[in-house]
Structure formats: structure tokens, C-alpha cells
A and B are shown apart, each in its own frame.
Chain A
């Protein structure tokens, strides 16, 4: 069934259900609350789904159950303290959250991290991407009913988390990035150990490819489900693997690099023409592989030198505005930082990827079956902390 046909049918179903409810004859549609406490929502997203039998007539995501007010809290923190907060936005790839904020602050202060710091920053950035997406690859299988892959995901993510911990001291919330560089240099033996971890992740990707991606049932459950045409995806502000799976060749790491050294290595942006749940899974799987390659190449050529630029002890950021966005594990993440020359930012606006990615759900869930809600939500891949900052 083509997209337009599907949309048309769902529109007819919606009209029919509304007519039934209005006339108060026959059966009424059923309203099903998925969440806020539900095993499939990775936290507290609530989806109010109006059902006609097992078909969804309308679905509304209700956000805000985990809103923590980070944008406001950032206004009363000094710049180095803000990273502690923003670590908790996308808690599976914490280090990647710090990077765009630090880059924005650096741009305002007109300092640049030394090359060594930039390379290590990029390595940790990609490691947190791997740690994040590895879990997605296992979790997606859970969403369609296979339990085992997620255990493999947790097992192999551990290798990456160990490396992040060895370098930064924190498994989940490294709080490692500083304005002008990094907190510490890498420990001894870290590079060889990280190479080993990357090999394990590549093995994991092969395993997932055989166990999940090649499975007929998985393909039957995901192919053609939740198709996002490129223009619709762009108009809803989708980013990251979600939009690349619709065939849009857009990756901030390649197209507008700032402060990270992705342009120094040889890698590829993967896209998929289909735009369905399977494509989103496939693109993420390829991206994990690609990220291990990026890390491997970066490990080869870490330049020597200091890891910290000359930055005053008490950081006062000159007045001005800066917006920096990076390609985070979940999609494009940007910080708009306004400074009035104080110790703390005047205003921080966080553009998080999941918020935009979830906003497409009312459009996308119309006319699908209840099991497909979970598949589609799983394939869109959001982190609740990333929706409700």
C-alpha cells in the first residue's frame, strides 16, 4: 500500500469513527492511555490513542512528565556548572550533550581547544554515540517482541562504557568537557583498550544483523510500517538517523562541522530510501559501524600537545549570542546561548532532537495498528530526558 493510500484509508477510518461517536449508535471508539507508566515508553511519555478496534484513529503524545527546567536552571549556574545539568538530557549519550554547549561558550569567548583536546573530544563524542545506539539496536528487538538481543546490547555496551569511565571517571555522566579543552588527558593503555572495544562492537553489529535485521518476522513487522516521506520529515524538524532513513542526506558532522574533527577522517553518511521503521533501524546499525571506524581512525592520529587552552580560572563569557549544533546520537542537538557578560548565561535554549522527533507521532500513528505504535515509537528512538529537558 502506498503512503497516500494509507493516509486516505486512515482519514476515512477517522471520519467513520467520529461519525459513529457523534451519532451515538453502534460502538464507540476506545481511548487507550499508553503511559505515562508503560514498559514501552522508556520513561514517562504518555500517548493518548483513540482506537477503533485495534486501529488507531488519533494519537497524541503528552510530554512534560519529566520536565526538569534545565533551561531555567542553567541561568543560575556558572558556565562550568551547566555541564552537570545537561549531562542528564540524553542520559545514554551524556558526553555528546556537553559538546555543543561548550562549543557555543568557546565561540563566545573566542577560545579554541588545542588539537589534542579536539580529537579526544571527537573520540568521546563518537563513543557516547556508540553507547547510545547500541542500546537502541537491542531495544528495537524488544519492541517487536524478541527479548534476547537487548541482553547482548547491554553486554557489549559495557565495553564502551568502561572506556568512557576509564577516560572520564563517569560511566553515565562524565562531566568531562571544559571550556577551552578537557578536564584530563587519556590514561595509559586507553587507546589499545578502546580498539578492542571497537572490535567487540563490530562483532555485536554483525550479531544483530544476523539475529534481528535478517529475521523475516522482524522485517515483516518493520518494513512499510511508519513511513515518513522526506518532505514531511523535514517539515516536522526530524533530524539524525530518522531523517537519513527517509533518504535525506544530511549530517551535521559532515555538512557544518564546528570544533570537532570529523572532517579529518574518512567516513560515510548512510541513508536509506524507504523511510520506514526498518530503514531507521538499518541506518542506525550502519552508523554504529561507521562510528567504530571513525574512532579507530581518530585513535591512530591523536596529536600530542596540551589538552587545555589558556582560559581564566573564573570564566566570564563576554556578551553575545551563539548557536552551535552537533549531530548527537538522537539527532541534531543545538544550544542557543545568550550571554550578558556575567558568570552565568543569561538564557540557554536547548534544541533537543527527541522533542522534534516525537512531534511527528500524531501524523505518523494515524491509521496504524496498536502493535505498530510500539514499533514506530521504538524506531523513532527517543530518550525521555531529551524530550523533557
Chain B
């Protein structure tokens, strides 16, 4: 694989990576929209969901995209035009940047970086700026309230998210996501190494905190105060239409997919399946599929929670973050550190 890539020129490799990145974001987002938003939720709510476009409505998403592309791109008269128009791209950029450090196999990665998870956590914050831009640029009070709520919430939940990752980093002794996967593949739990050591088994507290904080970072119910549709219409997205709304929409699901992929890499062993040699070339093909399977499982949980729970109020979710999740994450770090030294 490496040898094959080495023969290609720079622009060829770049094109391949670009195509792979687009596929990795859009395919995942499309699958999540169809499998979870259209079908799973419909079954939960005792209805069938889309059934007309294609077998079992599988082409419904294309119809929706066609619809959004045809719609007029409306900019409110008093909006800050540049900021308003740029905001969805900023949000989507953050999603694509998150993908860069994700490994899909022993050689299937975009970049391998010793600060991988650090970079991921850093670029995930960029979406806050996009959301704030959308809220402020729309010249609408609902959007402004939504944007400000989103900012407060995302900043509050960045901390437990980061602290939950620290436990994994301590245990894996690296911030490189590829090596975190290998550490799980080759790891042992108190000397028992039959299935490696998926960190969900030892970092269960970290996993729970990460999933909760992730739910909040994705602004999914019960943390969807920023888009609270029963009070703020759709929060910062209220004034968007057509393509730009579609970008937000895709961004929401793509980010759900990418965050779940990070969770899968950190806690579920990423592209690795127990029982196989992690250096096997097979994993360059199988790995992305395994990762995708784990992503679907994790996003299932995300959407299950989303469509079951009511939402927190702003002050309640801040209280949950600062008074419960952050102390718990810190305790988790302490325990992990002590055990790391002792065992």
C-alpha cells in the first residue's frame, strides 16, 4: 500500500485523499440520515418513514438534496452578508478537519501525527465560531439567542470531552490516534490479553463522559437548547434556506459520524477486530468498514437518546457540565494515573 502510494505524484495523492475525505464524510452522513433519522426514528415513533423514493425510501435523501438545491438562497436584508454566507462553510470545515487525523487501517490514514487527538479536539472547537457567526450574522433574535446558547454550551462541554480523552491518553501513553488503536489491539487487562484492551473496558467512566459531552457538542437532545425547535424555531439555523441550510444539515450528521468515529477509535479499538494481526494488509480494506460499523452503533445510541429524552434548560445543562462531568472526569484521570503507576 505504502509502496503503491509512493509512486504517485503529489497531486494524485492529494486527489485520492480529497475523494476519500469526501466519501468518508458524505457517505457516513448520508447513511446516518437514512438509517437513523429516516428509518430508526420512524420505527420508534410507530410510523414507516419515507417509502416511495426507491426501495424502502432509500433514495429519499437524493430527493431531499435535489429539493434543497432548487430552493432560493435567502439572505435577510439586515444580515451581515459575508458572515451569514460563510458560517455554514466554517462549520463544515471543522468536520472535515476532524476527519484528517482518523486512522482507518494500518496504512489507511490521511495524516499521522503525534498530536493527533490534540489536533482533533482543537479543530472541533472551530465549529463554535461558525455557529456564533450564523447566530450573529442572521440579524434575528431567535438566531442570536440560539448562537449564544450554543457557544456557552459548546465551551462548557469541551472541557469534560477533553478530560475524558486524557484518561485514554494516559493509558495508551500516546496522543497519536493510530498508536492508540495499536495500544488497544496489543493491550492487556491485568495480564489478560485475549481481546486486546478496548479502552471502554478500563475507561468506562471516560467513555460515558465522552458520550454525554459528545451529545452536547453535537447539540442533540437532551442538549439541543441552541436549536430548541419549540422555542427558538431552529436557533442559529432559523434564517437559512436552500443550499446553506443543507450544509448545516449535512454538517450536523457528518459531525455526529466523525465524533462517533473518534469515540470508536478511542474506546472501541477503532479499525481493529480482536483475533487478527493488526499489521495485516487486510485491515487496509477491512479497517474502514469495521470503523464504519462501530460508528453506526455509536450513532445509534446518540440518536436513540436524541429521540427519547426531553431537553435540559440552559442553566441545568451548565450545572451538569461544571458540577458533575468535570469533577468526575478529573477523578477518572486521577484513578487512571494512580493505576498506571501502580500496576
Which of the candidate stretches A169-177, A212-220, A339-347, A355-363 sits at the interface with the other chain?
A212-220
Contact indicator A145/B222 (Cβ below 8 Å): yes
Contact indicator A151/B46 (Cβ below 8 Å): yes
Contact indicator B47/A145 (Cβ below 8 Å): no
Does B311 belong to the interface (CB within 8 Å)? yes
Q: Which residue of B lies closest to A218 (CB)?
A: B310
A121→B215 CA distance, assembly (Å): 50
Does A142 belong to the interface (CB within 8 Å)? yes
Does B239 belong to the interface (CB within 8 Å)? no
CB-CB < 8 A to A218: which residues of B? 310
Check A371/B225 contact, CB under 8 A, given A38-B233, A217-B312.
Answer: yes
Q: Which residue of B lies closest to A372 (CB)?
A: B313
CB-CB < 8 A to A34: which residues of B? 231
Return the CB mask of B258-294 against A: 1 if under 8 Å, else 0: 0000000000000000000000000000000000000
Return the CB mask of B9-48 against A: 1 if under 8 Å, else 0: 0000000000000000000000000000000010011110
Q: Which residue of A lies closest to B229 (CB)?
A: A39
The 8 Å CB contact of A374, one of B47, B141, B221, B231, is B231
Return the CB mask of A30-62 against B: 1 if under 8 Å, else 0: 101110001110000000000000100000000
A194→B291 CA distance, assembly (Å): 52
A177→B141 CA distance, assembly (Å): 47
Those of B226-269 within 8 Å (CB) of chain A: 228-233
Contact indicator B47/A40 (Cβ below 8 Å): no
Does B192 belong to the interface (CB within 8 Å)? no
Return the CB mask of A1-38 against B: 1 if under 8 Å, else 0: 00000000000000000000000000000101110001
Does B7 belong to the interface (CB within 8 Å)? no
A38→B313 CA distance, assembly (Å): 19
A221→B145 CA distance, assembly (Å): 19
Does B316 belong to the interface (CB within 8 Å)? yes
CB-CB < 8 A to B228: which residues of A? 145, 371, 374
CB-CB < 8 A to B230: which residues of A? 39-40, 142-145, 374, 378
A378→B312 CA distance, assembly (Å): 16
A151→B228 CA distance, assembly (Å): 18
CB-CB < 8 A to B41: which residues of A? 148
Return the CB mask of B302-339 against A: 1 if under 8 Å, else 0: 00000111111111100000000000000000000000
Check A151/B145 contact, CB under 8 A, given A141-B310, A145-B228, A221-B310.
Answer: no
The 8 Å CB contact of A32, one of B141, B224, B307, B312, is B141
* Chain A min CB distance to B143 (Å): 12
A206→B46 CA distance, assembly (Å): 17
Contact indicator A220/B312 (Cβ below 8 Å): yes
A212→B310 CA distance, assembly (Å): 8
Q: A145-B228, A217-B311 are in contact. List 13 more A-B contacts (CB 8 A).
A: A39-B229, A40-B231, A145-B221, A145-B222, A145-B230, A146-B221, A146-B307, A148-B41, A148-B45, A148-B307, A212-B310, A218-B310, A371-B231
7 A-B pairs with C-beta separation under 8 A: A30-B141, A39-B229, A147-B307, A151-B45, A217-B222, A221-B311, A369-B314
Residues of B within 8 A of A (CB): 41, 44-47, 141-142, 145, 221-222, 224-225, 228-233, 307-316
